[in-house]
Amino acid sequence: MNRYQNPAKKEINLEKTKEGLILREASFNPTHIFECGQCFNFHKEEDGSYTAVFLGKIINVLGLADGSSLIRNISEEDFYDIFYDYFDLGEDYEQIKKSISIDETLEKATSYGYGIRILNQEVFETTISFIISANNQIPRIKKAVRIISERYGTYIGEYRGRKYYSFPSPEVLMQVSPEELREHARVGFRDKRIVEASRLVHEGALDFAKDQSLASADLKKKLMDLPGIGPKVADCIMLFAYHRRETFPVDVWIKRVMETLFIKKEVPKKQVEAYARDYFGELAGYSQQYLFYYGREEKIGK
């Protein structure tokens, strides 16, 4: 299986209704989850809900006024089999927020993005998506992922007048010419890297089950052996696909936030990473997501 599955199933409050499934979970807000930069294969609907694709399923999630969430277009069985782990529902985020709220800044950040959950995504799609993300903006990344899915993935179905496709397999994507990728998906200089990385993954460069036994430093090195993957992209893949929650990806936004709120001066990225590892410890990945969302939405350090 190319995705994380939590063996411990925490009990959740899920109710089946005519409208869909109602999830009552204090640490769950669709806007916070989908707008914190961790995934790109989703569409925001006019009613404020989010439609996402994962493992060949189309799910729609709407935050309700009472703090619960309405989950549509998915069966209760599929929700437990697929989306329970996708939304990381086996983890106690109320306790995590308490554990990482070690200062006033983190208290503000966890309160601001109270409904964030780190998604457990599929390895290959995450790898290619974050190769595309290098020196890129979220709207362009989303568009590239959508076009790649539409052109080379498998048709899943239609929801609210929009057709959805699965993300292509490594075997399919490695056969696409870089020129075609560049022309249609607008991936720029990343074209050859995407095709070559797809080929290497198809040949076994990444094996989720075996990779789980690697120390994080060794896994990061292995990821960086693939074309188009530098330290930040590797950290993102580790955090969002491999469940390495001690990982602290440093991009432009998080660097500004850390320099403004913690370090109090401009420093190289490596110093930001070292500071984060020392200060946040094994829960650094959670801290990163709350701080990223808080910092970007409030334009801290801009």
Domains along the sequence of the chain with CATH: 13-90 (3.30.310.260), 123-240 (1.10.340.30), 252-297 (1.10.1670.10)
Q: What pLDDT score does 1 carry?
A: 59
Q: What pLDDT score does 58 carry?
A: 98
Q: Indicate the pTM of the whole model.
A: 0.95
Question: Which residue out of 97, 142, 232, 255 is catalytically annotated?
Answer: 232
Q: What is the pLDDT along the chain (302 residues), one digit of tens a residue?
A: 588 888 878 889 999 999 999 999 999 999 999 999 999 999 999 999 999 999 999 999 999 999 999 999 999 999 999 999 999 999 999 999 999 999 999 999 999 999 999 999 999 999 999 999 998 899 999 999 999 999 999 999 999 999 999 999 999 999 999 999 999 999 999 999 999 999 999 999 999 999 999 999 999 999 999 999 999 999 999 999 999 999 999 998 899 999 999 999 999 999 999 999 999 999 999 999 999 999 999 999 87
Model confidence pLDDT, tens digit, residues 79-134: 999 999 999 999 999 999 999 999 999 999 999 999 999 999 999 999 999 999 99
Closest CA to 40 of 147, 129, 152, 163: 129
**232 belongs to the catalytic site:** yes
